[in-house]
């Protein structure tokens, strides 16, 4: 057989077939891949261009570069698309693009996403290891770029030529038909998609893609109407057809039963989607839906939700609502009139949810700090008081499916706040140095849970520190010592925050060292006890404070107890170690009952109910003082185990197997020795 002559490729066509590897860069904040990524792959497949996704957030730190090398070798991409959507991924994007470019010149690096589009030319100017930026919708520009179209003809593209950096302004906006003809949930595009499914199932679920853009303008949001104009050139949102979302769900069913929806430009659209789903027998009761709501729920929505989605199992579905701030007026400014609801309406809405779904869903309420509508320390204190009081009210009214989260606000790139309050907002340097400052704690000594790059200038450093200390202490109490938190709020109401503030001002604010890193709970307890006992009126509202703090000090040593290997060795004449036993005036662990009693009887006529707490290795056992005297207190008299069992049998106190189990646990915990 003769040798065939090699064909010369036509001009402007790439020598090898193009392939795009989209990479979600490692990030400590996000494991989720922006929703549009799967759609890009499907779009390119329809144009006969191979594309894959590598999510480096899925792997351990020490595996990342090994995985990258492995998949680069396997896929042999001509282009790499680095997803630069949220600003939190900035460090990962820069490190990775530098790393890839230092190893191979031939692979072209493209950056896209909100943040890439927002910084645009400046990003390309600062990062010479990035070849292209796509500003706005990426589907057609990627197709053209990968097919070798002359860069000056590729819409939405920012690129370099010998004259410098050039920008083709966004002129391509995907149309509804194209958006509806591509799938956004073909997980096979993603390497190791089983890891991703596991990971999203442990969190909110697989995000279902409905559309792009928003009609609202929340001030902090980088996905708002105004922000979309800045980073994507998009003036109007666009939504997929309901049929296309349903066909995606049918595909998704093969991979996961847990989904997340958070796209509510139009509640009617969502209800129409639910109605259409209700007609699809194979999809009804196939998914657990976690739902991020942009506004309060209505009856029809809740009825449809109940009819279509899987009810609660061990992993409860959740609804998210973001009131953001406690004071209604601030919320109205932040969210605008159309999305505004008052706190009273929110509480009524929680009742509506409960009346339709019982406690089958958890509701997460997101509040955040710092907003530009909360400008003084007193405003902040009002917020803090309102939010923690609300949390206490839920607990004391037995509402256990509503959870409050009070985090730092991520001031998104391109948001109104970013644009208004940041010096040089369009400079990448501004973002990078803010991130570096935050990470090196140059700005804050307190722990932060988001990239909060905005702090109102009307708050002094000391104001911020004081707010952070207040929140930290209240959070700590609520989380680890709910007895004290709820008793304080029950007895002192808002004065609880005054009390904590007084302690912070007198003892902590000027104390050298990092308060957050060296926080000493026992010291705080001691100060709470001391402050309350020194103030007659406060003390009269919580006269059992000494007894309560004694119990909590024992409880804190229970938390700090070093782990010891289990030993079931029994001595025949055991002794009782009182260090693990606390006798108190009330059953503080049975909080619901105790708070109701407190409310009913009033603090002045509250009868003591002597309670014994036994600090076992893994739990705190409580019993009435009478039961304690009739049972294990007898070991103080030096009785043997056999005498004990005989005594219990004669007195008909529980049964033998109960006591054998109890004795074993007491030995294992060192209470008997």
In angstroms, give the least distance from the CB of 221 to ligand SF4: 3
> Which C-beta is closer to ligand SF4: that of 179 or that of 469?
179
> Which C-beta is closer to ligand SF4: that of 216 or that of 489?
216
Closest C-alpha among 673, 666, 579, 552 to residue 618: 666
In angstroms, give the least distance from the CB of 449 to ligand SF4: 18
Residue 44 tokens, joined: 């390119």
Q: Burial-class residue 12 by CB neighbours within 10 Å (0-12, 13-18, 19+).
A: exposed
In angstroms, give the least distance from the CB of 479 to ligand SF4: 27
Closest C-alpha among 511, 517, 514 to residue 527: 511
Q: Are 262 and 292 in contact (CB under 8 A)?
A: yes
259 binds ligand SF4 (CB under 6 A): no
Task: Give CA–CA dist 317/309, Å, rounded.
Answer: 10
> Which C-beta is closer to ligand SF4: that of 217 or that of 342?
217
294 binds ligand SF4 (CB under 6 A): yes
Alpha helix segments (H runs only) across 167-279: 176-181, 193-202, 225-232, 242-252, 267-278
Task: Give CA–CA dist 186/192, Å, rounded.
Answer: 13
Buried b / exposed e over 409-427, threshold 16 CB at 10 Å, is bbbbbbbbbbbebbeebbb
> Which C-beta is closer to ligand SF4: that of 71 or that of 216?
216
In angstroms, give the least distance from the CB of 379 to ligand SF4: 22
In angstroms, give the least distance from the CB of 218 to ligand SF4: 3
Q: What is the DSSP string of 106-138?
A: SSEEEEESHHHHHHHHHHHHH-TT--EEE-S--
> Which C-beta is closer to ligand SF4: that of 293 or that of 402?
293
Q: Burial-class residue 322 by CB neighbours within 10 Å (0-12, 13-18, 19+).
A: buried
Residue 407 tokens, joined: 């985090």
> Which C-beta is closer to ligand SF4: that of 417 or that of 641?
417
The pattern of x and - marking residues 526 through 545 that bind ligand SF4 according to CB under 6 A reads --------------------
Q: How many CA atoms lie within 13 A of 368 on its CB side?
A: 24
> Which C-beta is closer to ligand SF4: that of 141 or that of 233?
233
> Which C-beta is closer to ligand SF4: that of 191 or that of 291?
291
CA-to-CA separations, 108 to 119, 614, 630, in angstroms, rounded? 19, 65, 79
Quickly tell me which residue has 């899987």 as its tokens: 310
Q: Looking at the DSSP assignment, which residues form a beta bridge with residue 164? A: 161
For the segment 204-223, give every residue that binds ligand SF4 (CB under 6 A): 214, 216-218, 221, 223
390 binds ligand SF4 (CB under 6 A): no
* Number of chain residues interacting with ligand SF4 (CB under 6 A): 8
Element (H, E) at 471: helix 461-480
> Which C-beta is closer to ligand SF4: that of 217 or that of 590?
217
CA 17 to chain centre: 41
In angstroms, give the least distance from the CB of 557 to ligand SF4: 45
224 binds ligand SF4 (CB under 6 A): yes
Q: Are 301 and 294 in contact (CB under 8 A)?
A: no
Q: Are 583 and 625 in contact (CB under 8 A)?
A: yes
In angstroms, give the least distance from the CB of 564 to ligand SF4: 50
Cα angle 426, 430, 435; round to 5:
130
In angstroms, give the least distance from the CB of 408 to ligand SF4: 16
Quickly tell me which residue has 């990962």 as its tokens: 92
> Which C-beta is closer to ligand SF4: that of 217 or that of 535?
217
> Which C-beta is closer to ligand SF4: that of 119 or that of 216?
216
In angstroms, give the least distance from the CB of 112 to ligand SF4: 19
In angstroms, give the least distance from the CB of 352 to ligand SF4: 21
Q: Are 304 and 271 in contact (CB under 8 A)?
A: yes
> Which C-beta is closer to ligand SF4: that of 179 or that of 470?
179
In angstroms, give the least distance from the CB of 402 to ligand SF4: 20
In angstroms, give the least distance from the CB of 114 to ligand SF4: 11
The pattern of x and - marking residues 34 through 73 that bind ligand SF4 according to CB under 6 A reads ----------------------------------------
Alpha helix segments (H runs only) across 253-376: 267-278, 299-308, 328-335, 343-357
323 binds ligand SF4 (CB under 6 A): no
Binding site for ligand SF4 (CB under 6 A): 214, 216-218, 221, 223-224, 294
């Amino acid at each position: 057989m003769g040798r065939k002559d090699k064909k010369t490729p036509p001009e402007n066509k790439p020598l090898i077939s193009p392939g795009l590897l989209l990479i979600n860069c490692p990030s400590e904040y996000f494991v989720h891949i922006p929703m549009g990524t799967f759609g890009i792959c499907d779009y390119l497949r329809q144009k006969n261009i191979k594309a894959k996704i590598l999510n480096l957030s899925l792997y351990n730190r020490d595996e990342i570069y090994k995985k990258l090398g492995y998949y680069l070798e396997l896929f042999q991409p001509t282009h790499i698309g680095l997803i630069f959507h949220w600003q939190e991924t900035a460090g990962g994007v820069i490190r990775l693009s530098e790393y890839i470019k230092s190893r191979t010149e031939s692979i072209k690096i493209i950056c896209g996403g909100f943040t890439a589009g927002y910084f645009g030319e400046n990003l390309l100017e600062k990062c010479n290891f990035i070849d292209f930026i796509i500003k706005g919708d990426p589907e057609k520009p990627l197709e053209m770029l990968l097919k070798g179209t002359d860069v000056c003809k590729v819409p939405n593209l920012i690129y370099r030529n010998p004259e410098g950096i050039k920008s083709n302004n966004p002129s391509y906006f995907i149309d509804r038909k194209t958006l509806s003809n591509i799938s956004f949930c073909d997980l096979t595009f993603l390497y190791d998609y089983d890891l991703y499914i596991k990971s999203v199932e442990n969190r909110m679920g697989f995000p279902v893609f409905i559309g792009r853009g928003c009609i609202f303008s929340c001030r902090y949001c980088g996905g708002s109407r105004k922000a979309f104009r800045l980073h994507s050139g998009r003036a109007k949102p666009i939504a997929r057809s309901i049929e296309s979302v349903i066909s995606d769900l049918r595909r998704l069913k093969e991979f996961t039963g847990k989904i997340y929806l958070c796209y509510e430009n139009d509640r009617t659209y969502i209800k129409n989607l639910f109605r259409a789903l209700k007609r699809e027998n194979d999809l009804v009761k196939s998914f657990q839906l976690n739902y991020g709501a942009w506004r309060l729920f209505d009856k029809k929505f809740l009825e449809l939700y109940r009819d279509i989605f899987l009810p609660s199992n061990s992993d409860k579905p959740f609804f998210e609502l973001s009131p953001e701030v406690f004071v209604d007026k601030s919320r109205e400014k932040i969210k605008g009139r159309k999305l505004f609801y008052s706190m009273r309406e929110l509480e009524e809405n929680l009742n509506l949810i409960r009346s339709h779904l019982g406690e089958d869903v958890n509701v997460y309420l997101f509040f955040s700090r710092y907003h530009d509508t909360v400008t003084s320390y007193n405003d902040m204190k009002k917020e803090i008081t309102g939010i923690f009081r609300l949390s206490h009210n839920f607990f004391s009214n037995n509402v256990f499916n509503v959870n409050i989260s009070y985090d730092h606000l991520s001031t998104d790139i391109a948001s109104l706040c970013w644009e208004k309050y940041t010096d040089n907002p369009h400079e990448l340097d501004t973002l990078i140095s803010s991130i570096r400052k935050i990470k090196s704690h140059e700005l804050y000594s307190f722990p932060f849970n988001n990239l909060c790059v905005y702090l109102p200038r009307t708050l002094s450093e000391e104001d911020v520190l004081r707010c952070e200390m207040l929140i930290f202490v209240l959070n700590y109490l609520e989380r680890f010592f709910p007895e004290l938190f709820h008793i304080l709020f029950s007895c002192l109401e808002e004065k609880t925050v005054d009390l904590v503030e007084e302690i912070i001002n007198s003892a902590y604010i000027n104390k050298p060292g990092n308060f957050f890193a060296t926080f000493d709970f026992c010291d705080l307890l001691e100060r709470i006890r001391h402050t309350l006992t020194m103030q007659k009126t406060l003390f009269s509202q919580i006269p059992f404070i000494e007894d309560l703090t004694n119990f909590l000090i024992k409880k804190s040593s229970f938390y700090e107890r070093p782990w010891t290997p289990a030993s079931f060795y029994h001595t025949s004449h055991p002794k009782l170690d009182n260090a693990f036993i606390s006798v108190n005036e009330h059953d503080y662990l049975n909080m619901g009952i105790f708070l109701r009693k407190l409310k009913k009887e009033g603090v002045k006529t509250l009868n003591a109910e002597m309670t014994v707490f036994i600090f076992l290795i893994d739990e705190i056992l409580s019993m009435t003082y009478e039961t304690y005297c009739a049972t294990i207190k007898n070991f103080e008299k030096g009785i043997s185990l056999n005498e004990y069992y005989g005594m219990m049998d004669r007195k008909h106190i529980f049964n033998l197997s109960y006591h054998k189990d109890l004795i074993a646990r007491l030995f294992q915990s060192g209470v008997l020795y």
